[in-house]
Amino acid sequence: MKLAYVGLPCQLQALRKLQLFSDQLGQEWANSVSLTIGLFCRENWAYTCFRALVEDDYGVKLSEVEKFDIKKGKVIGMRNGEVVLEIPLAETKPYVRVGCQVCLDFSAELADLSVGAVGSPAKYSTVIVRTKRGMDLLKAAEREGYVEVKHISEVKPGPKLVLKLTKEKRDENLAEAERRERAGYVAKHIATMGENNLEKLVEEAQGKSFADLEKDVIDAGMCISCGTCVAVASEQLEMVEERPRLKEGAKGDVPNAYLACPRTSLPSMVIAEKLFADEGEMNSDSLGKYIDIFAVKATDKAKLTRWQDGGAVTALLLYALKAGEIDAAITAKRDENWRPLAVVASSEEELRETGGTLYCYVTNMPLLREVASK
Q: By CB under 6 A, tell whether 164 contacts ligand FAD.
A: no
**Would you call 63 exposed, middle or buried from its count of C-beta atoms within 10 A (0-12, 13-18, 19+)?**
exposed
Q: Give me the sheet containing 340-345, strands edge to edge.
A: 147-151, 292-298, 125-129, 113-116, 33-39, 3-7, 328-334, 340-345
Examine residue 192 and tell whether it contacts ligand FAD (CB under 6 A).
Answer: no
Asked whether position 320 contacts ligand FAD by CB under 6 A, the answer is no
21 lies in the binding site for ligand FAD (CB under 6 A): no
Question: Does residue 314 belong to the site contacting ligand FAD (CB under 6 A)?
Answer: yes
Q: Which stretch binds ligand FAD (CB under 6 A): 39-47, 139-147, 222-230, 247-255?
A: 39-47
The contact pattern for ligand FAD, residues 281-310, with x = CB under 6 A and - = no contact, is --------------------------xxxx
Please report, as residue ranges, which positions from 350 to 369 form the binding site for ligand FAD (by CB under 6 A). Answer: 354-359, 362
107 contacts ligand FAD (rule: CB under 6 A): no
Amino acid at 200: K
Question: Which value, in Å, is the radius of gyration of the alpha carbons in the chain?
Answer: 20
CB 210 within 8 A of CB 257: yes
Binders of ligand FAD among 323-352, rule CB under 6 A?
Answer: 331-333, 340
For residues 58 to 97, the per-residue mask of contacts with ligand FAD, x marking binding by CB under 6 A and - elsewhere, is ------------x---------------------------
Q: Residue 206 Cβ, how far from ligand FAD at the closest point, in Å? A: 32
Residue (of 265, 191, 203, 192) closest to 228 by Cα position: 265
The nearer residue to ligand FAD, 6 or 25, going by C-beta atoms, is 6
Please identify which residue in 30, 115, 135, 260 interacts with ligand FAD, judged by CB under 6 A.
115
Name the segment binding ligand FAD (CB under 6 A); options: 3-11, 21-29, 225-233, 237-245: 3-11
Report how many residues bind ligand FAD under the rule CB under 6 A. Answer: 33
Looking at the Cβ atoms of 140 and 341, the one nearer to ligand FAD is 341
Q: Of 227, 273, 229, which Cα lies nearest the Cα of 254?
A: 229
* Shortest Å distance, C-beta 266 to ligand FAD: 19
Binding site for ligand FAD (CB under 6 A): 6-8, 39-42, 44, 70, 115-118, 125, 307-314, 331-333, 340, 354-359, 362
